[in-house]
Amino acid sequence: MRTRIRIGSRESLLAVRQAEIIRDRIRQADPEIETEIVTMKTTGDKILDKSLAKIGGKGLFVKELDRALLEGKIDISVHSLKDMPMEVNPDIPILAYGKREDPRDVILFREGIAELKAGSVVGTSSRRRKLQLKELYPGCIFKGIRGNVQTRMRKLSEEGYDATLLAAAGLARLGMESCAGRYLSVEEMIPAAGQGILAVQGRKDADYPWLSLIDDRKARLEAIAERCFIRAAGGGCTSPSAAHAQLCGEEMKLFGLYYSEEKCTYQKDVICVRIDGEDLRSRERQAERAGEGLALRLMGSL
């Protein structure tokens, strides 16, 4: 009997495309596996007129898929890692990390606009993006905006925004790179932890013999360092704290932004550490220590 894998996904075009990327990698790993993408609308997709901070944070984008996994209605779920809560149910852990795509943020301009200036209206509901973009464009006005890529682009042209920000990886996955106005380097705007990486969740007691064939170790170690930074910094789902790791061979460069809610100020820094050894778990622990170490260093500087 052929194995059949039911892949859970949100309903948006981007979410389905991300599920298709993982589906294709599963098929490449084992052509005998049959796959089916099961879509569902999450609470976060349904409530678009309120900020995430007011309705429960990023967990609202995974709640329904988590339940489907636990109830056995799907076999795995696929998420953009940046949209996942820092704390994951241990019964449905992250089992694999997809190869990282462009981690940068990108500015999309309304037609007829090519640059931001004093008084420009920027649509973003991300405190992380707002905080850092203020440094680059101090005269801008920020207004909240929610919705998938297509919804935000429609709002850009219809609701008085001059620009909005999106993850470059999402545009690339949709083949919409031509819409990009200006890419922001990771030095200018540190990305959200996990940005550009796909996460595959599954049940801890299930057998996934093909899993190691789709797991990207470089993305795994970068993701672990970034998410450990956010956890150590006390960053929740709506915190502007951010982290981005770049692993090249055995050297990891880790960028971090720590925001103090109490002092309403932030600090950025970058460190370089070695991540070496043959044992994967040992390398994971080194990545964890790098994330925690940078967070403690930044927390102590404010």
**What DSSP string describes 184-239?**
EPTTTSPPPTTTT-EEEEE-TTS--TTHHHH--HHHHHHHHHHHHHHHHTT--TT-
Fold of 216-302: Double Stranded RNA Binding Domain (3.30.160)
What is the spatial distance between Cα 174 and Cα 184, in angstroms, rounded to a whole number?
Answer: 19
Burial (CB count within 10 angstroms: exposed 0-12, middle 13-18, buried 19+), residue 271: middle
- Say what the pLDDT of residue 150 is: 86
Indicate the domain borders of the chain. 1-98+198-215, 105-184, 216-302
What is the spatial distance between Cα 64 and Cα 120, in angstroms, rounded to a whole number?
Answer: 37
Query: Which tens digits make up the pLDDT trace of 76-107?
Result: 999 999 999 999 999 999 999 999 999 999 99
- Say what the pLDDT of residue 55 is: 43
Query: Which tens digits make up the pLDDT trace of 237-271?
Result: 678 999 999 999 999 999 999 999 889 899 999 99
Cα 257 → chain centroid? 16
Structure tokens at 84: 């996942």
Q: Would you say 291 and 226 are in contact if contact means Cβ atoms under 8 Å apart?
A: yes
What is the spatial distance between Cα 122 and Cα 69, in angstroms, rounded to a whole number?
Answer: 37
Query: Which tens digits make up the pLDDT trace of 269-301?
Result: 999 999 999 899 999 999 999 999 999 999 998
Burial (CB count within 10 angstroms: exposed 0-12, middle 13-18, buried 19+), residue 138: exposed
Write out the catalytic residue numbers. 83
- Say what the pLDDT of residue 237 is: 62
Could you say which of 3.90.1150.10, 3.30.559.10, 3.40.630.40, 3.40.190.10 is the CATH number of the domain covering 105-184?
3.40.190.10
- Going by pLDDT thresholds of 50, 70 and 90, the confidence category of residue 70 is very high
Predicted TM-score (pTM) of the model is: 0.91
Equal fold, 1-98+198-215 vs 105-184: yes
- Say what the pLDDT of residue 48 is: 46
pLDDT above 90: percentage of residues in the chain: 75
Query: Which tens digits make up the pLDDT trace of 43-68?
Result: 655 444 444 454 444 555 688 899 99
Looking at every residue in the chain, the average pLDDT score rounds to 91
Q: Does domain 1-98+198-215 have CATH number 3.30.200.20?
A: no
